[in-house]
Every structure is written in structure tokens, then in C-alpha cells.
Amino acid sequence: MTNISLETLKEWSKLGHRNSFGESIIHLAREREDVVVVNADITTTARLVNFKNEFPDRIFNVGIAEQNLIGFSAGLAREGLMPFAVTVAAFVPMRCAEQMRMMLGYMNLNGRVVGIESGCRFGPLGNTHFAMDDIAVTRTIPNFTVISPSDPHQIYKTVFAVAEHQGPVHIRLTGAPGFPLLYPDDFDFEIGKAIEYRPGKDVAIITTGSVLSEGIRAAEILEKKGISTRVIDMHTLKPLDLNMLDSVFAENSLVVTVEEHSIIGGLGSAVASYKAGFANSPKQVMCSLGDSFKKIGNYAFHMKNAGLVAEDIAEKVLQNVD
């Protein structure tokens, strides 16, 4: 894995997670001949045209057919290839959940399933195109690893890390073009090992995906009010980094989970279910997309309505901190 220049990362940040992934997978394919891309008529939308130009024989478009996207990819994986199956997160895993369970999970194959535009980024397109439930689905499939990278650099690191991983992986991509570059410098990335983005003694904000940037801003707001706030980037949702959670439960007095996902089955649920085993663990506040279909509006509108912007997260902390 070669390091990516700061200039390139800034460009990817500007262009968004689709380009970040579409370019990262080219870098991986240059190093590994077993890597192929399968997509469900999303070559242009998912910014895979450059991949197609460089590796025309290593990208397969199965048409608008998400079940077969996974089925076909499972067959490729069974024969030792490493397919990255890509489509819009609204349709994967939900349209092909059973195929992910039976073909990738049950057979423990090295399929990599990538959902672009997860959460409610598709704003005005409406609920048909939101993925508020994808983490909930794949977390329940045995053998699956679930990763939601937080910035362009982490998307790059994720793509290379999953290539070395045994077993199926779901990569959930969030954030709009212009999503912040949070890791400008080289950093260690390990599947299942959360990153303490900044230390803090009082409150711990745990986020997953691109909403990490709001968690960081919230921490800055709280620091100004005298509340020492730790920020944890829980990029891997399964397996959860339990060591990191042990440390949070021992050292922080309030846990705040922040995710662009349903309040059911995502990061908040995962943290809460682990926390349930601790007699004296801190209180948890969950910031999420709740449990409702949304009205029409742009991405910022949805994030604001759900209370997923820094000011709202900070306010929620202030309401709950002793």
C-alpha cells in the first residue's frame, strides 16, 4: 500500500466518498490481480469509470439486479477471486440481505459488499433511496465484518485492510462531496480497532462514518464550556472494539453514540448491548436518525432534523452531563 499524497486526499474530500472508493480500488487492483469489481448498473454513479478504463476485464456489470450482484460475486469468491460488489446502500444489504447471509456469510466467502450513499445523503430523492438500516442487517449475519469509514483517507485504508481480511465484509460509505479530510497524515488502521481521535476525561463521543466530523466539532464546543470530551472513531461496527469500550466505561462519565443510522440495530444499540453487562457503567445518550421515515429535504436538512450536527450533539451532552 503506497501512501496517498495530501493533495490527492484533499481532492477526494472535495469529490466525496464515491470517488474516494472508486480511486482507492484502482490502487488496490494495481497491487492484487485477484481483485475484481462487480456492480449493479452503477459504473458511472459509483465513479468506477476510471477503474473500467484501466481494468476493462476486471469489472462486471450485472445490470439492475442486486440479488444476483451478490450471488454472482459469491461464485467468483468461491473460486478464489476477491470481488468488491458495489451498489447504492439503499439496495444493499436490504434488497439482497438473504444472499449476503446465505452465500457470503454462511459460506464465509471473501466477498466485499460496498454500499455507497448510505444514511440519508440522497436527501430529496426520499426514503426509497435512504439506508438507515444497513448496519442493523449486516451486524446480524454471522462471519460478516462491518466497517463504516469516516473520511477519504480511511476509505483508502479500509479498502486495503479488507483485502487482507478473511471472510465477508460490508463497507458502508457515508458523507456528501466535501466531507472533511479528518486524517490528513498517515495513520494506523486496523479492522476492529477503534481510533481515539482525541482524548477527554468527562464525556466520550463515539461515532461511526463521516459524522465523525460533527463529533469532533461537538467536542470542540464542549471543551469551550469546560467539558473535557473524548472522541472515538468506531469505524468497525462488527467486531466492536470492546477494549476501547472498556476504557470508555471506566474513564468517562457519559457515553454519546453518534450515527447516521436508525436508532435500532446500529452503533448505539451495539454499544448499549455491550454496556448492559456492566453494573456501574456510565449513562448513554444516542444520537441517530431515530425510527421514522423522513420528509423530503436536502442532506443538511435531514442531519439537522435528526440532531446529528455538532451544535445539537453538544446541546444533548449539556442536557445529560452532571
Partner 1 sequence: MEKNLLVEEIKDKTERMRRDAIEMGFSAGSEGAHFGPALSCMDMVATLFFGVMNYDPDNPEMPERDRFVLSKGHACLAYYAALIEAGYIPREMIPQFKGNNSILCGHPSKNVQYGIEVSSGSLGNGFPVACGMAKAAKFKGEAHQVYCIVGDGECNEGIIWEAALNAAKNKLDNLIVLVDINNFQLSGTTSEVMPINLDALWRAAGWEVLHIEDGNNVEEVLQILNEVKESDIEKPHVILTKTVKGKGISYMENNLKFHATSINEEQYRQAIADLDKAEAERKEQ
Annotated catalytic residues are 66
- Count Cβ atoms within 10 A of the Cβ of residue 80 and give its class: 0-12 exposed, 13-18 middle, 19 or more buried: exposed
Counting contacts by CB under 8 A, is residue 100 touching partner 1?
A: no
Strands 229-233 and 195-198: antiparallel
Cβ-based neighbour number of residue 60 at 10 Å: 16
Minimal distance, residue 187 CB to partner 1, in Å:
35
Minimal distance, residue 69 CB to partner 1, in Å:
9
Counting contacts by CB under 8 A, is residue 31 touching partner 1?
A: no
Selected from 4, 42, 48, 62, the binder of partner 1 by CB under 8 A is: 62
Selected from 1, 15, 94, 102, the binder of partner 1 by CB under 8 A is: 102
Minimal distance, residue 107 CB to partner 1, in Å:
5
Asked if 100 and 74 touch (Cβ cutoff 8 Å), the reply is no
Minimal distance, residue 221 CB to partner 1, in Å:
49
Q: Cell numbers of 127, please?
A: 426514503
Counting contacts by CB under 8 A, is residue 55 touching partner 1?
A: no
What is the rounded CA–CA span in Å between residue 49 and residue 30? 15
Minimal distance, residue 29 CB to partner 1, in Å:
13
Counting contacts by CB under 8 A, is residue 74 touching partner 1?
A: yes
What is the rounded CA–CA span in Å between residue 72 and residue 100? 11
Counting contacts by CB under 8 A, is residue 42 touching partner 1?
A: no
What is the rounded CA–CA span in Å between residue 169 and residue 129? 22
Counting contacts by CB under 8 A, is residue 54 touching partner 1?
A: no
Amino acid identity of residue 35, one-letter, is V
Counting contacts by CB under 8 A, is residue 32 touching partner 1?
A: no
Strands 203-207 and 82-88: unpaired
Shorter beta-carbon distance to partner 1: residue 28 or 306: 28
Shorter beta-carbon distance to partner 1: residue 84 or 197: 84
- Number of residues near partner 1 (by CB under 8 A): 26
Minimal distance, residue 142 CB to partner 1, in Å:
13
Selected from 60, 160, 299, 301, the binder of partner 1 by CB under 8 A is: 60
Give the strand order in the sheet containing 254-258. 195-198, 229-233, 203-207, 254-258, 283-287
DSSP 19-46: HHHHHHHHHHHHH-TTEEEEESS-TTTT
Asked if 206 and 190 touch (Cβ cutoff 8 Å), the reply is no
Counting contacts by CB under 8 A, is residue 94 touching partner 1?
A: no
Shorter beta-carbon distance to partner 1: residue 111 or 215: 111
Shorter beta-carbon distance to partner 1: residue 104 or 255: 104
CA distances from 276 to 56, 138, 194, 242, 322 (A): 50, 22, 20, 13, 21
Shorter beta-carbon distance to partner 1: residue 97 or 227: 97
- Give contact residues for partner 1 (rule: CB under 8 A): 36, 57, 60, 62-63, 65, 67-68, 70-81, 98-99, 102-103, 106-107
